[in-house]
Amino acid sequence: MEEKVKMWDLFLTFARIGGLTFGGGYAMLPMLQKEVVETKKWATEEELLDYYAVGQCTPGVIAVNVATFIGQKTRGVLGGIIATFGVVAPSFVIILILASLINHFAEYKIVAHALAGIRVSVAALIVSAIVKLWKKGVRDLVGILIFAAVVLLSLVLNVSPIIIVIVAMLFGILYGRLAGREGKR
């Protein structure tokens, strides 16, 4: 990130992400990866993973939180506000329009079929994001064990994601200290 990011570019990039990704925050992860890391180079893959992690355990939508982090990193507080507004604005406008129309079209079978197709594509996008996160985040047997424990705790035991993230964070700190790898990745 050698030259200063333009506010307009920050806004338009996140507006495009917010306007062209369907299915919520997790569905935005692949597009965030492509735009922020690969195309714009506003963050590294490791930084983006850190933003995902922190964005997941803070209130709000993960994609909005990540946009805020990236905007703040590139242009300070105002950049965080601009990026957040950019990612939210298209959804806000689209939801306003859909909310006024949904009652008129919900009973049509074609709308139900379209929504079913969208749900399947969003599931595939989420799996794609999971695979990318797995490749960067799960590096050893301990990572696999943490992953398995989180799946068990969340899917089987229905433990709160906040508790899971905090426990995983504490375990990571403890493991890092015991293994003598403090501060190393």
pLDDT value, residue 142: 87
Per-residue pLDDT of the chain in tens (185 residues, 90 and over written 9): 456 889 999 999 999 998 887 766 677 788 888 999 999 999 998 898 888 888 877 887 888 899 999 999 999 999 999 999 999 999 899 888 888 887 777 778 888 888 788 889 888 888 888 888 888 888 889 889 999 999 999 999 999 988 998 898 898 889 888 887 545 54
pLDDT value, residue 49: 85
Please state, in angstroms and rounded to a whole number, the distance separating the CA atoms of residues 11 and 24: 19
Tokens of 10: 């920050």
Q: Domain-by-domain residue ranges, the chain?
A: 7-136, 138-185
pLDDT value, residue 35: 92
pLDDT value, residue 184: 52
At residue 153's C-alpha, the angle toward residues 149 and 159, to 5°, is 145
Please state, in angstroms and rounded to a whole number, the distance separating the CA atoms of residues 68 and 88: 11
86's CB contacts (< 8 A; 6+ apart) are 10, 11, 12, 13, 14, 15, 17, 18, 67
Q: Indicate whether this model's pTM tops 0.85.
A: no
pLDDT value, residue 25: 67
pLDDT value, residue 1: 47
**DSSP 8-state symbol, 5:** P
Tokens of 96: 């306003």
